[in-house]
């Protein structure tokens, strides 16, 4: 006979909360890098800016 261990609900909700917080932080970082970074954080000069230039115009983010 096998005994299955079922974690408590507190563990499940904590794991879900950590994943949700991680996803939100990653989304905010991506939004900043694509929408507002002018080479300050990315340290790539204008490479990231030029790479995302058309996407910025498509999203309505001013970049000029």
Query: Read out DSSP for 36-62?
Result: T-SSTTT-STTHHHHHTHHHHHHHT--
Please state the rounded mean pLDDT for residues 26-49: 73
Query: Average pLDDT, whole number, for the chain?
Result: 76
pLDDT of 13 above 80: yes
Q: What is the pLDDT of residue 50?
A: 73
> Do 33 and 41 form a contact (C-beta atoms < 8 A)?
yes
Token pair 């974690």 in the structure block, residue: 7
Q: What is the pLDDT of residue 19?
A: 94
> Do 41 and 35 form a contact (C-beta atoms < 8 A)?
no
**pTM of the predicted protein model:** 0.59
Band (55; pLDDT cuts 50, 70, 90): confident
């Amino acid at each position: 006979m096998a005994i299955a261990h079922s974690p408590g609900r507190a563990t499940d909700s904590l794991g879900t909360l950590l994943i949700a917080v991680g996803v939100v932080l990653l989304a905010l970082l991506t939004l900043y890098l694509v929408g507002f970074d002018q080479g300050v954080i990315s340290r790539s000069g204008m490479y990231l800016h030029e790479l995302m230039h058309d996407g910025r115009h498509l999203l309505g983010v001013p970049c000029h």
